[in-house]
Amino acid sequence: MKNMISALWAYRGFVLGSVGREFQSKYRNSLLGAAWTILNPLAMVTVYTVIFSSVMKAKLPGIDDSLAYSIYLCSGVLTWGLFAEITGRGQNVFLEHANLLKKLSFPRLCLPIIVVVNATLNFGIIFGIFLLFLLFTGHLPGWPLLGLIPVLMLQIAFAIGLGTTLGVLNVFFRDVGQFFAIVLQFWFWFTPIVYPVTIIPERFHGLLMFNPMAPVIGAYQTILVNGRWPDWQSLIFAALLSLLLCVLAIRLFRKRSGEMVDEL
């Protein structure tokens, strides 16, 4: 592990350079440029707000604030977007950079790190604007806002562990990527993001225990909507699963990294 960290640190210039080039190429020849980072999730939030808040009259139980549901929705949609981007790109990262892997010698784990940094950069832009919105509307939480830091770190660890594991498997079994894309769509709706957990029949609440993203998204919503510290105990399962996935990803990568280039 120590040698791996040292190798990644030695190639930090390669990682940062790749992040910069990818960010620039993403918006090259685009009139709006980085504004698309904001417009895409903004459009999604607007659609869900209109459908669920205006059409279906959805509201949060016990909260009369007219902006509460929009904040609840943004808290879930924006943070889910980070998870989906890391896992979605992570599962294809070795396939997308097949030519680079065949031609250059560098720590292969640099590629998942590049994915995480890029996704976090995009998330930081849109989430920073969201926090400014909360500030100007008087809904910015107090000290509980600091709780976002460990929750974000937990989410990134879970996403990179899962994404890298899927990325290695996808090299050998290409159906993995196609299957996970479908799973991700069902996973989104199985997580209380656009609806409050209270609308789920109580007999199904136990199923949410098997969804590690439910307490993670719930922690964001508790902080940003209610202005309270999250229930840390509810995150224990997600934290243990994140650790397990990260260990599995590293072991699987070490065992199969020599065979990956031949399969690409």
6-48 pLDDT, tens digit per residue, is 666 666 676 777 777 776 676 665 555 556 666 766 676 666 6
- Do residues 74 and 45 lie in contact, with contact meaning Cβ atoms separated by under 8 Å? yes
* Per-domain residue ranges of the chain: 2-263
Find the range with the poorest average confidence among 15-29, 62-76, 105-119, 216-230. 15-29
**Element of type H or E holding 13:** helix 12-26
Q: How many CA atoms lie within 13 Å of 23's alpha carbon, on the beta-carbon side?
A: 20
pLDDT band per the 50, 70, 90 thresholds, residue 61: low
The whole model's pTM is what?
0.85
> Cβ neighbours of residue 193 under 8 Å, at least 6 residues apart?
73, 76, 77, 80, 217
pLDDT band at 262, cuts 50/70/90?
low
What's the pLDDT at 86?
94
**pLDDT given for residue 56 in this prediction:** 46
Tell me which of 79-93, 113-127, 139-153 is least confident: 113-127
Give residue-wise pLDDT tens across range 202-259: 777 778 888 999 999 999 999 998 899 999 999 999 999 999 999 999 888 888 777 7
What's the pLDDT at 28?
61
Per-residue model confidence (pLDDT) at position 7:
61
pLDDT at 94: 83
- Record the tokens describing residue 224, joined without a space: 């940003």
Sign of CA dihedral 130, 218, 224, 128: negative
Which is it for the CA torsion 45, 50, 56, 59, positive or negative? positive
Q: How far apart are CA 86 and CA 4, in angstroms?
A: 21
To the nearest whole number, what is the mean pLDDT of the chain? 81
In angstroms, the CA 122 to CA 35 distance is 10
Looking at residue 184, its pLDDT comes to 93
Would you state the pLDDT for residue 79? 93
